[in-house]
């Protein structure tokens, strides 16, 4: 899979890029079944930090998944888009089921905690999502405000309260979120990224995004065979700004982030990272709360 200069320009201007057919139909079927089996059995309990909807640090426990998604091809695309040869995998890989986060940047949380490392020019981070179903009338993919990776974060304050009236108005107004001055203060285009299962979507860590919700706006309308399943990887230049982000995730108070404070050792994972052209970030000082 070779990307062109035009692909990179699109990514730099819009903050996202679809790369089609990175996975074959068989690989999608394998990953989707494997993920759903893990969530529907006790397997997700393999790490005490998981929940029945989120598996953190999955590659250390499920190398059969790693071998399909964490490939040299994906790493090479990330290098091309970031414009850096020396990348690390930020240890925040996750597999999620039935998860529809509201509008945010991936840097909203560190910014809320007063950090500014993500505003430095050497903060070069790309996230990629394997969505294991099409993004269609039932959602199943990613929505973004195109170009918002270049604009200030509007989500660090309190979201306006949602009342019955605002909900009804929201449902009745076409493109309500695009027109919403709080969600989209710069009047950018809202794109429900039209991925199909097997495509990979790359997105800038600073883009305004959310999980695409069903057109009916009712999650209960999603058929069982369309249950949203996605795996996300995050790659960053092997530099100080990335390291500051990695240090930050170790301080996050949510219980699920205990995986970052007590990372599982895996020689197979370390070797695989080298095989696909990733560097191992220098060990940070031991975490102290
Ligand atoms: O679920 C999605 O589609 C997007 C995931 C996301 O926004 C997040 O985990 O920060």
Domains of the chain, by residue range, sit at 5-275
Cβ–ligand 1 contact at 231 (below 6 Å):
no
Q: Is residue 23 within 8 Å of residue 63, measured between CB atoms?
A: no
Q: If you measure from the C-alpha of residue 9 to the centroid of ligand 1, how many angstroms do you get, rounded to a whole number?
A: 24
Least confident of 16-20, 68-72, 161-165, 243-247: 161-165
Q: Whose alpha carbon is nearest atom 2 of ligand 1?
A: 211
Q: Whose alpha carbon is nearest atom 9 of ligand 1?
A: 101
The pLDDT of residue 168? 80
In terms of Cα–Cα distance, which of 63, 73, 95 is closest to 22? 73
Question: What is the C-alpha separation between 273 and 89, in angstroms, rounded?
Answer: 8
pTM over 0.85: yes
* Distance, CA of 276 to chain centre: 20
The pLDDT of residue 283? 59
- From 56, 95, 101, 136, the mutation candidate for ligand 1 (largest count of ligand atoms within 8 A of CB) is 101
The pLDDT of residue 186? 97
Residue pLDDT, tens place only, 175-217 = 899 999 999 999 999 999 999 999 999 999 999 999 999 998 8
State the closest ligand 1 atom to the C-alpha of 141, by its place in the atom list counted from 1: 3
Q: If you measure from the C-alpha of residue 44 to the centroid of ligand 1, how many angstroms do you get, rounded to a whole number?
A: 19
pLDDT band for position 163 (cuts 50, 70, 90) = confident
Cβ–ligand 1 contact at 113 (below 6 Å):
no
Confidence check: pLDDT of 289 > 70: no
In terms of Cα–Cα distance, which of 84, 129, 115 is closest to 278? 84
Task: Return the SS3 of 50.
Answer: coil
To the nearest whole number, what is the mean pLDDT of the chain? 94
Residue pLDDT, tens place only, 8-51 = 999 999 999 999 999 999 999 999 999 999 999 999 999 999 99
Mean predicted confidence (pLDDT) in 263-276 = 96
Q: What is the DSSP annotation of 163-202? A: -HHHHHHHHHSTTHHHH-TTT-TT-PPEEE----BTBEEE
In terms of Cα–Cα distance, which of 97, 14, 91, 84 is closest to 270? 91
Residue pLDDT, tens place only, 103-122 = 999 999 999 999 999 999 99
Question: What is the C-alpha separation between 172 and 163, in angstroms, rounded?
Answer: 14
Confidence check: pLDDT of 287 > 60: no
Residue pLDDT, tens place only, 125-141 = 999 999 999 999 999 99
Greater pLDDT, 97 or 161: 97
Q: Whose alpha carbon is nearest atom 8 of ligand 1?
A: 101
Q: Per CATH, the architecture of 5-275 is what?
A: Sandwich (2.60)
- Percentage of the chain modeled with pLDDT above 90: 87
Q: Whose alpha carbon is nearest atom 10 of ligand 1?
A: 106
pLDDT band for position 172 (cuts 50, 70, 90) = confident
Cβ–ligand 1 contact at 142 (below 6 Å):
yes
Confidence check: pLDDT of 288 > 70: no
């Amino acid at each position: 899979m070779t990307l062109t200069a035009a692909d990179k320009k699109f990514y730099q201007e819009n903050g996202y890029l679809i790369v089609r057919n990175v996975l074959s139909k068989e690989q999608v079927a394998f990953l989707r079944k494997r993920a759903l089996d893990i969530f529907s059995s006790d397997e997700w309990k393999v790490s005490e930090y998981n929940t029945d909807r989120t598996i953190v640090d999955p590659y250390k426990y499920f190398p059969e998944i790693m071998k399909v998604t964490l490939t040299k091809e994906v790493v090479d695309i990330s290098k091309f888009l970031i414009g850096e040869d020396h990348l690390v995998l930020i240890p925040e890989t996750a597999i999620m089921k039935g998860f529809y986060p509201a509008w945010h940047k991936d840097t909203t949380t560190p910014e809320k905690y007063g950090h500014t490392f993500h505003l430095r020019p050497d903060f070069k981070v790309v996230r990629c999502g394997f969505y294991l179903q099409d993004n269609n009338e039932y959602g199943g993919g990613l929505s973004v405000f195109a170009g918002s990776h270049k604009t200030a974060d509007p989500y660090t304050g309190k979201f306006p309260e949602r009342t019955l009236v605002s909900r009804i108005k929201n449902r009745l107004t076409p493109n309500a979120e695009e027109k919403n001055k709080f969600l989209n203060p710069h009047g950018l285009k809202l794109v429900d990224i039209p991925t199909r299962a097997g495509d990979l979507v790359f997105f800038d860590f600073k883009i305004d995004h959310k999980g695409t919700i069903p057109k009916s706006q009712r999650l209960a309308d999603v058929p069982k065979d369309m249950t949203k399943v996605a795996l996300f990887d995050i790659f960053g230049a092997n530099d100080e700004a990335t390291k500051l982000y990695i240090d930050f995730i170790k301080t996050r108070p949510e219980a699920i982030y205990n995986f970052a404070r007590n990372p599982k050792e895996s020689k197979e994972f370390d070797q695989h990272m080298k095989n696909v052209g990733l560097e191992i970030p220098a060990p940070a000082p031991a975490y102290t709360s």
